[in-house]
Structure 1
């Protein structure tokens, strides 16, 4: 599990109470603050970085040294005193934040972007304090709007991970946000085990399937659980691949395309060791199998220990600064991972209902994954996918498909 010790927090900020937002389409939210989305492979490679704690490094210096363009800023939590409003680390209200906004501005000025991670190992999660998925989504929508986000990560860990209602709130919120924010890159991160993930992880997959929710990836964290070196991690990833197929009904290629790795560099909290060579081995596995994500915890630790052995701020293995971040940059350059989908053999429909002609595009298939912009025919109409989708019927309540009219 992520045992993320916060070495130093900013002074507690006032938490501003807010009313729940009514969620509508936020497709223009990011444009309103002048941000441009990166290609999805950068969000899929974004390593975690705590911008306010654990001696945060200068992200622009890291970008210049490694070529990495995106970072996963951590973590959004419920206020330490309770409530359903978003804060950084449980202490700094998002509504009044200027510090993290400044960090994001510097990253974007250097040509990069950020995703924001909600949850993590410590603190109280919004899924635990918000009453419903809609209330949770409203809280997270404040974060998306505040920073003009194109990507968000749901890092679902203990004790929330073992709370069925809280996980329902988180997954339901993720689904609402995915539908309300066109093109939003959504990752779900969970603990890893030698079997891929544990009982609570398989329950999470089952709940996502029951909701009809498919994120861009489900990622496991194969560390702090009896792991040691790359072979144990790739074995866990292969086991998780089998779970994705069996619990979500995906074929092999679709499962790989929506599977992610979230590692830990250097010495883990459980005294496991992962060296640069281990990262290279897992990277080779990820790119050869076209996994949907490759990231790690954390950039704050991506430097050698000199005056301290504090596991929150250095790796406790021999290295040069930012060695491990270079692997995420390589992943982003190796493949645009989430563009890989499995398609069934193409068939066409010749129905003439509604448009008087034939639909000369492939018929929609319930077992095919489609990227945004894909076109299909269904019930005599041509449809275009607004974002990545799997199993959502054209014209159905998910609102994934735009009706282009009869054909």
Structure 2
């Protein structure tokens, strides 16, 4: 392959490029939600562990924030694979007799409260893991829904249950059957998937769970992100709050991609209404992670600003300061938060300004949103960097403008659309920096003079440190080579004999040449 001659405009595009070099690009279809204004009202409901000791009196909420409750967890009965139980300890009838559960639920509802039911959790087997007959599995879910007359269910899938792909598919098929039957009877059923996340969003298993659920035509109310217990995925020095807002932002973006892959386009606003946030209050299971009241206040503000559809917490059982007889925080308590709350409740802080109820949001039906196609021009005269071009090469560190946003290249790239929807950040060479600001103008940058380096030639021999131009991009040899094209540096950088110079190196070379 022969290299083209160096031209200043092309090198500007390949390096840090000024805005006047590339003609403005036209933005594609802009997806606008016609139904965004009718998004359901956000709701708050803390989890209550039904089988925990000491028994938590959810039927006597300490404040208004405790009136909506997610009762947990329904799992499979040991030895009876398709029979639902509370925590593998009580059948539904046993829970009524031993825990007086049915009466306590009625008491909460008598006071204007609302419940949702959560299936799964970290311990024990979620029903779909053991019940392999889809019809029997659907009947098991329906028996719980009908007994407690709930309109909202929560599928808390984690650990071994989440990695069981066959169970995920069975669960989706069974829930789709139940939801379809109920809707045919004029009954509402909202289905939430509660999944573990990291600051990067959903892991592969979580993505598969959502994909399987949508593929089997379950109308998802949303994905509830467990913003807790990040472990090594939380970078040193990053707070629990920052990790959580990063996780929610990444999950919202991933959910949009998953819906698009399923053939349904939704607006950002609608997607945010399909996101839930569930922190573990106080001391987390990971010793170094503590979710404070200040973090709760900031997360509440974030949720209100973004229009998040649901906020929960683990758990109402834990929403109080531990007593003086609580010896150590090394073991997380089921009955207190592990931090000093000073009489303030996490439920009150997290629910501030959140007015909806699970019951009222259960009737929302997800539909593809109408498209308003408008051509918005990226204007070089008002862009700080060049407009992205599919035919140009970009070095690591190069900034460009695309669809009125600034992106920065993570590695050498060519032809990769900056806003191409991907599920994981590592799938794209671009990092979104932020929008083009009002009043911005092109930023002048130094460039290399023509002939600074020779064009690469397949017949020439190159020593370590030799520099050449290939496709107008400057490269440096990592070792002696002949006939090894710099083009391989993009697809296989470790084994390539060449490495592209960085933007910083280009600036330094240009400055030295003056």
Quote the Cα distance in structure 2 between the aligned partners of 1:171 and 1:325.
Answer: 31
> 1:303 is matched with which residue?
320
Q: Secondary structure at the match of 2:81?
A: coil
Q: Secondary structure at the match of 2:223?
A: strand
Deviations 1:108-167 (A, max 9, x none): 122112111000000112111111333222101111111111221110111110000111
Shift of 1:298: 0.3
Change (3 A) 1:68 1:91: closer
Of the three residues 192, 200, 203, the one matched with 1:198 is: 203
> 1:221 is matched with which residue?
226
> 1:318 is matched with which residue?
340
Quote the Cα distance in structure 1 between the aligned partners of 2:69 and 2:84.
Answer: 19
Change (3 A) 1:77 1:41: farther
Quote the Cα distance in structure 1 between the aligned partners of 2:40 and 2:344.
Answer: 22
- Does the 8 Å CA contact 1:40/1:185 hold for their aligned counterparts? no
- TM-score of the superposition, structure 2-length normalised? 0.56
- Does the 8 Å CA contact 1:65/1:322 hold for their aligned counterparts? no
Q: Do residues 293 (structure 1) and 310 (structure 2) align?
A: yes
Larger RCO, structures 1/2 (Cα 8 Å, 6+ apart): 2
Q: Do residues 110 (structure 1) and 111 (structure 2) align?
A: yes
> 2:44 is matched with which residue?
45
> 2:479 is matched with which residue?
none
Quote the Cα distance in structure 2 between the aligned partners of 1:204 and 1:111.
Answer: 34
Runs of 4+ that moved beyond 3 A: 39-42, 334-343
Segments of structure 1 that go 5 or more residues without pairing to the other structure are 1-38, 348-407
Of the three residues 43, 67, 70, the one matched with 2:68 is: 70
Deviations 1:18-42 (A, max 9, x none): xxxxxxxxxxxxxxxxxxxxx9757
Q: Do residues 332 (structure 1) and 354 (structure 2) align?
A: yes
- Does the 8 Å CA contact 2:151/2:188 hold for their aligned counterparts? yes
Quote the Cα distance in structure 1 between the aligned partners of 2:259 and 2:60.
Answer: 41
- Does the 8 Å CA contact 1:175/1:213 hold for their aligned counterparts? yes
Aligned length: 307
Change (3 A) 1:94 1:331: farther
Change (3 A) 1:65 1:210: closer
Shift of 1:301: 0.7
> 2:248 is matched with which residue?
237
Structure (1 or 2) with the larger CA radius of gyration = 2
Quote the Cα distance in structure 2 between the aligned partners of 1:59 and 1:40.
Answer: 25
Shift of 1:183: 1.2
Shift of 1:198: 0.6
Quote the Cα distance in structure 2 between the aligned partners of 1:132 and 1:281.
Answer: 45
- Does the 8 Å CA contact 1:95/1:146 hold for their aligned counterparts? no
> 2:258 is matched with which residue?
247
Q: After superposition, where does 1:16-95 map in structure 2 within 5 Å?
A: 41=41, 44-62=43-61, 64-95=62-93
- Does the 8 Å CA contact 1:187/1:216 hold for their aligned counterparts? yes
- Does the 8 Å CA contact 2:282/2:337 hold for their aligned counterparts? yes
Q: Secondary structure at the match of 2:321?
A: coil
Quote the Cα distance in structure 2 between the aligned partners of 1:40 and 1:115.
Answer: 16
- Does the 8 Å CA contact 1:287/1:334 hold for their aligned counterparts? no
Change (3 A) 1:40 1:119: farther
- TM-score of the superposition, structure 1-length normalised? 0.70
Q: Do residues 179 (structure 1) and 180 (structure 2) align?
A: yes
Q: Which moved more, 1:184-193 or 1:318-327?
A: 318-327
Shift of 1:173: 2.3
- Does the 8 Å CA contact 1:294/1:331 hold for their aligned counterparts? no
> 1:280 is matched with which residue?
297
> 2:480 is matched with which residue?
none
Q: Which moved more, 1:177-186 or 1:272-281?
A: 177-186
Shift of 1:83: 1.8
Deviations 1:344-397 (A, max 9, x none): 2699xxxxxxxxxxxxxxxxxxxxxxxxxxxxxxxxxxxxxxxxxxxxxxxxxx
Q: Which moved more, 1:327-336 or 1:234-243?
A: 327-336
RMSD (Å), alpha carbons: 2.6
Quote the Cα distance in structure 1 between the aligned partners of 2:244 and 2:49.
Answer: 24
Q: Secondary structure at the match of 1:241?
A: helix
Quote the Cα distance in structure 2 between the aligned partners of 1:208 and 1:340.
Answer: 15
Q: Which moved more, 1:91-100 or 1:212-221?
A: 91-100
Quote the Cα distance in structure 1 between the aligned partners of 2:111 and 2:342.
Answer: 23
Of the three residues 264, 268, 272, the one matched with 2:280 is: 264
Quote the Cα distance in structure 2 between the aligned partners of 1:150 and 1:157.
Answer: 23
- Does the 8 Å CA contact 2:44/2:356 hold for their aligned counterparts? no
Deviations 1:63-108 (A, max 9, x none): x524432100011011123421111111211144312212212211
Change (3 A) 1:295 1:151: same
Shift of 1:269: 0.5
- Does the 8 Å CA contact 1:50/1:74 hold for their aligned counterparts? yes
Q: After superposition, where does 1:1-20 map in structure 2 within 5 Å?
A: none
Deviations 1:152-211 (A, max 9, x none): 111011111000011112222222222222212221100011211111011112212322
